[in-house]
Chain A
Amino acid sequence: MSVPLRPPRRLIEITVDGEAMRVPEGDTLLDACQSAGKDIPTLCYGDTLNPKNACRVCVVEVEGARTLAPACSRKAEPGMVVKTDSDRARHSRKVVLELLGSSVDLSTTPNAKEWMAEYGADPARFGEDAATVAEPPKVDNDLYVRDYAKCILCYKCVDACGEQWQNSFAISVAGRGFDATISTEFDAPLTDSACVFCGNCVEVCPTGALSFKNEFDMREAGTWDEERQTQTTTICSYCGVGCNLTLHVQDNTIVKVTSPHDNPVTHGNLCIKGRFGFQHVQNVASDG
């Protein structure tokens, strides 16, 4: 895979957990921490998007700052002294995980369980009456499902649909505070909205709140099993752009199509044909 070259950048010196290190100017603290081998949880951060830094699970302590800093979006500055694992930072991560875990269904969020264990988070402590965002899944089309009971409002789908990738602007955040939800105008069905069904919002969703209809149905039926899936990357044959497609195959059937995030053509994005137009491949006449 070709990696686009960037102009050389000045190196600046910062300290992470007591160790001095040099990072390219313009890097975020998350970049720096990751290159130092620190494991910092992230949810609203996406490798193909500018982070909204709304989830606050990646907070680190910067010496001299009154509040904690979101590692995903705070740029490293010369002389910064960063603590990734201080009591304050761990406390905030723990509480943020508890707040999310008590209000949102994190059952399909990758790593959520491990992080909960690592930080000793106990979402049940808020009691059984704790308010949640539970609501039935919205199934209004054949291609993807919106299960906002699993939505942590990370804004990634809004950014992917809007100015950061697709420029369709079919969805946005409606309402305010705890009542805020991702919505089309007047909560219209997707089929009436500006949605072009590219599925790029599904690609960036960190919790499984957005999922392809196929995957949603298989999960409901209990047949979805990622252990049994293989991934094969190929080139989309619909047009001449040459997008890379990764075919997720279970039991010799394509169950999902994605695109590599580091692909210089797609950056993980596809169009409706590449993403959803695979059924003809496996329509084999039953009588041979």
Chain B
Amino acid sequence: MDLRFRDAEPTAEERAAVDALLGAPSSAWDGGDRTEFDLRFATQAPRVARDRRDLLLPALHAVNDRVGWISEGALDYICRRLTIPPAEAYSVATFYSLFSVKPRQARVLHVCTDLACAAKGAEAVRRDVEERFGPPGVSWQPSPCLGLCERAPAALAIEAGDPPTNAVYGPCAVGQEWPATTEEPPVEAAVPQAQPHGPATPRPVPAAVSSPAPGSGSAPAPGSTLGSDLGPAEGSSLGSGTISQTGPDVLPGDGGRSPGSGELVLLRRIGVVDPLSLDDYRATGGYTGLRRAFELGPTGVIREVLESGLVGRGGAAFPTGRKWEATARQLDRPHYLVCNADESEPGTFKDRVLMEGDPFALIEAMTIAGYANGCTLGYLYIRGEYPRALKRLENAITVARSRGLLGDDILGQGFSFDIEIRRGAGAYICGEETAIFNSIEGFRGEPRTKPPFPVEKGLFGKPTVVNNVETLVNVPHILEMGAAAYAAVGTSSSTGTKLFCVSGTVERPGIYEVPFGASLRDLLDLAGGATGELRAVLLGGAAGAFVRADELDIPLTFEGTRAAGATLGSGVVLVLNDTVELPGVLLRIAEFFRDESCGQCVPCRVGTVRQEEALHRLSKRRSEGDLLLLREVGQAMRDASICGLGQTAWNAVESAIDRLGVFTAKESS
């Protein structure tokens, strides 16, 4: 590789930002000043640097965080430091929507215009912002879902500087001020189940238990007071369907926790513990799962996960145990773990709530997954729009490391494992399980062709297990309560509890945890029902499907929604009442896929554009030809696209036409 640079020089600030990440350059070969001495010897630097291509994305972040955009001089300097061809670095920088290669203001306001916010009047906010701040791209830009759906319509300001700062707004209103700093509500405000008496009442922190020894079963049940606090309607509707299936409420060695009783499992610590405190976490049963894992050994852990029936919560519902089994037995080393926290499906915010409210649980879960799969390094890939979750995870990792729960010889068991955080930079596609590898490795976040599958050739070409945040967070609970007890919750093919992201025109939007098997009606009741006349519910997000108001008895299980021709996806339950214009919702979905298509394959790259164009025409006048066109393009996207994005880009539109009668004779408006 013979790199050629143009003459652009970085500013002192840009250079400092990159050097803060990579350290000072050791020689001219490494991008430093050229001295007489350097010209005499070629050092190892370029070859060493080339192996750190994965630092490209963090380096781009460093400049973007400090200056607000990436100039040619900054890009060239990064390229010199990491021995990357400038054309390639430019292609990576232009892939992500949070980066700009054109000058812009240090402070950029990202106004969410996606589904959940649109249902709550985001369009008016966007227009207001445009009137006040001018055309998008300089000081503000419209944004896909920010994962703040319980506060819709929401916005996020990112201000470059040293250090960069953020402010989160929501619910936004027309004419509001956009102060430089905001007081963000506590994470438990997104979990109505955690505060049945109103948002202001914090739950009492349960008495700390002094000895979180393995198997002591000493963790209190923070949710134990909760069941009775639920209104009679919620309590009965949930309980009747599920308690009977779950067997004994009190499980051996479990201190009385049982998700079947309607208590919170995954959310039990949200709003109860201090998310920054490891002691709080351990006092509420934290790290019991890891101790149990060490007792069981790696194969024992995998057996438990297999027997628990846990399937992936990111949307694809693949059995986690089978994935782990396949990864663990690969002979090629090292094995990698990737935690997919690039939660970007419109209407999804469960992983944010888990990471903000119970970050140590994810760290423990990743450690267990690393142990079971024979990994020594795990990557936590978190979307760039989650500043608070990022901060809390960084703290959790630092604290865990300092207390011997990450690093060498964890808990004296001779197992070494560490976690590196990688921030996404605004690309939905990077949540795809192979695109996430390319993104981490410093390439464009384009999905790879499968086969080979990640369990054989994943991150850096090595066997890799990729799991969603919610999936992983289930694992410590499985180990604590035992596979049999876990599998007893829910239905036979959908075990355990599930987090649902309820948003849109609903009384109490937020994250709800219910055992699999509850119906959509139960869930909506729990959330206080729809505001206004319920028109439709979008299940599974933009890649999901609509169901009608008369289909609320659909059981919220993987098999139940599949039988009904819908999907659980990532747990999105977007409620739309009759004030929301469905053609506008479909257009937003189409726009989302057009914006987020990586552009690699033709069916998706052009098909999503044609889909949006046809929907634009249809929203003006009905046309059989355009409906046929949508179907034909949709079928080709589903059949011939490389990855799940293109394959599902037509799902929601199709269901709106077929089930809700949008654009067809059944539609009266």
Given A129-B613, A168-B2, A169-B85, A56 and B72 contact (CB-CB distance below 8 Å): no
Contact stretch, chosen from A171-179, A203-211, A216-224, A243-251:
A171-179
Indicate if the CB atoms of A131 and B2 lie closer than 8 Å: no
Kindly state the separation between the CA atoms of A103 and B87 in the bound complex, as whole angstroms: 25
A-side contacts of B647, CB under 8 Å: 67
Indicate if the CB atoms of B599 and A175 lie closer than 8 Å: yes
Interface: B122 (CB within 8 A): no
Given A169-B87, A169-B88, A172-B87, A99 and B603 contact (CB-CB distance below 8 Å): yes
Contact stretch, chosen from A88-96, A136-144, A231-239, A263-271:
A88-96
Kindly state the separation between the CA atoms of A40 and B88 in the bound complex, as whole angstroms: 32
Q: Which of A52-111 contact B (CB under 8 A)?
A: 52-57, 59, 67-68, 70, 73, 75, 88, 91-92, 94-96, 99-100, 102-103
Interface: B51 (CB within 8 A): no
B-side contacts of A21, CB under 8 Å: none
Indicate if the CB atoms of B601 and A186 lie closer than 8 Å: no
A51 CB to closest chain B CB (Å) equals 9
Indicate if the CB atoms of B1 and A167 lie closer than 8 Å: yes
Interface: B641 (CB within 8 A): yes
Contact stretch, chosen from A8-16, A188-196, A274-282:
A188-196
Indicate if the CB atoms of B640 and A131 lie closer than 8 Å: no
Interface: B609 (CB within 8 A): yes
Kindly state the separation between the CA atoms of A188 and B647 in the bound complex, as whole angstroms: 35
B-side contacts of A130, CB under 8 Å: 610, 613
Indicate if the CB atoms of B642 and A99 lie closer than 8 Å: no
A180 CB to closest chain B CB (Å) equals 4
Kindly state the separation between the CA atoms of A133 and B449 in the bound complex, as whole angstroms: 26
A53, A59, A95, A131: the one contacting B613 at CB < 8 Å is A131
Kindly state the separation between the CA atoms of A220 and B636 in the bound complex, as whole angstroms: 36
Interface: A48 (CB within 8 A): no
Indicate if the CB atoms of A176 and B602 lie closer than 8 Å: no
Indicate if the CB atoms of B606 and A178 lie closer than 8 Å: yes
B2, B72, B449: the one contacting A70 at CB < 8 Å is B449
Indicate if the CB atoms of A175 and B594 lie closer than 8 Å: no
| Residue of A with least CB distance to B625 | A125
Interface: B313 (CB within 8 A): no
Interface: B330 (CB within 8 A): no
Interface: A127 (CB within 8 A): yes
| Residue of A with least CB distance to B72 | A186
A-side contacts of B597, CB under 8 Å: 176-178
B-side contacts of A68, CB under 8 Å: 639-640
Interface: B200 (CB within 8 A): no
Kindly state the separation between the CA atoms of A223 and B267 in the bound complex, as whole angstroms: 73
Interface: B632 (CB within 8 A): yes
Kindly state the separation between the CA atoms of A171 and B4 in the bound complex, as whole angstroms: 12
Kindly state the separation between the CA atoms of A52 and B603 in the bound complex, as whole angstroms: 14
Kindly state the separation between the CA atoms of A178 and B605 in the bound complex, as whole angstroms: 5
| Residue of A with least CB distance to B3 | A194
Q: Which of B73-101 contact A (CB under 8 A)?
A: 75, 85-91, 94-95, 97, 101
Interface: B638 (CB within 8 A): yes
Interface: B470 (CB within 8 A): no
A284 CB to closest chain B CB (Å) equals 37
Interface: B362 (CB within 8 A): no
B107 CB to closest chain A CB (Å) equals 24
A101 CB to closest chain B CB (Å) equals 10
B-side contacts of A179, CB under 8 Å: 599
A-side contacts of B600, CB under 8 Å: 52, 54, 153
Indicate if the CB atoms of B90 and A99 lie closer than 8 Å: no
Interface: B608 (CB within 8 A): yes
Indicate if the CB atoms of A167 and B607 lie closer than 8 Å: no
B438 CB to closest chain A CB (Å) equals 12
Interface: A201 (CB within 8 A): no
A251 CB to closest chain B CB (Å) equals 38
Indicate if the CB atoms of A177 and B595 lie closer than 8 Å: yes
Indicate if the CB atoms of A53 and B609 lie closer than 8 Å: no
Interface: B290 (CB within 8 A): no
In this complex, the member of B86, B427, B605 whose beta carbon has the largest number of chain A beta carbons within 10 angstroms is B605
Kindly state the separation between the CA atoms of A70 and B97 in the bound complex, as whole angstroms: 30
Kindly state the separation between the CA atoms of A175 and B97 in the bound complex, as whole angstroms: 9
Indicate if the CB atoms of A194 and B85 lie closer than 8 Å: yes
Kindly state the separation between the CA atoms of A152 and B603 in the bound complex, as whole angstroms: 12
Interface: A214 (CB within 8 A): no
Indicate if the CB atoms of B91 and A172 lie closer than 8 Å: yes
Interface: B635 (CB within 8 A): yes
B-side contacts of A99, CB under 8 Å: 602-603, 606-607, 610, 633, 636
| Residue of B with least CB distance to A184 | B87
Indicate if the CB atoms of A102 and B87 lie closer than 8 Å: no
Indicate if the CB atoms of B639 and A59 lie closer than 8 Å: yes
Given A53-B449, A56-B640, A127-B613, A185 and B603 contact (CB-CB distance below 8 Å): no
Interface: B444 (CB within 8 A): yes
Interface: B620 (CB within 8 A): no
Interface: B132 (CB within 8 A): no
Given A131-B613, A188-B6, A174 and B94 contact (CB-CB distance below 8 Å): yes
Kindly state the separation between the CA atoms of A185 and B75 in the bound complex, as whole angstroms: 9
| Residue of B with least CB distance to A53 | B449
B-side contacts of A169, CB under 8 Å: 1, 3, 85, 87-88
Indicate if the CB atoms of A67 and B638 lie closer than 8 Å: yes
Kindly state the separation between the CA atoms of A102 and B451 in the bound complex, as whole angstroms: 31
| Residue of A with least CB distance to B643 | A67
B87, B594, B610: the one contacting A170 at CB < 8 Å is B87
Indicate if the CB atoms of B610 and A102 lie closer than 8 Å: yes
In this complex, the member of A67, A130, A178 whose beta carbon has the largest number of chain B beta carbons within 10 angstroms is A178
B-side contacts of A67, CB under 8 Å: 638-641, 647
A-side contacts of B91, CB under 8 Å: 172-174, 183
B-side contacts of A57, CB under 8 Å: 602
Indicate if the CB atoms of B602 and A54 lie closer than 8 Å: yes
B72, B85, B629, B641: the one contacting A126 at CB < 8 Å is B629
Interface: B522 (CB within 8 A): no
Kindly state the separation between the CA atoms of A218 and B3 in the bound complex, as whole angstroms: 34
Indicate if the CB atoms of B598 and A95 lie closer than 8 Å: no
> Nearest 7 A-B pairs (CB), nearest first?
A169-B85, A95-B636, A172-B91, A180-B599, A99-B606, A185-B86, A194-B4
A67-B641, A178-B609, A184-B90 are known; give 6 further A-B pairs, CB within 8 A: A52-B600, A95-B632, A172-B87, A175-B95, A186-B90, A193-B87
Q: What are 22 of the A-B contact pairs (CB < 8 Å)?
A: A54-B600, A56-B640, A67-B640, A67-B641, A67-B647, A91-B632, A95-B632, A96-B603, A99-B636, A103-B609, A153-B599, A169-B88, A170-B85, A172-B91, A177-B597, A178-B608, A179-B599, A185-B72, A185-B75, A185-B86, A185-B89, A194-B85
Mark A residues whose CB is within 8 Å of B: 52-57, 59, 67-68, 70, 73, 75, 88, 91-92, 94-96, 99-100, 102-103, 125-127, 129-131, 152-153, 162, 167-180, 183-186, 188, 192-194
Mark B residues whose CB is within 8 Å of A: 1-4, 6, 72, 75, 85-91, 94-95, 97, 101, 427, 444, 449, 451, 594-603, 605-610, 613, 617, 625, 629, 632-633, 635-636, 638-642, 647
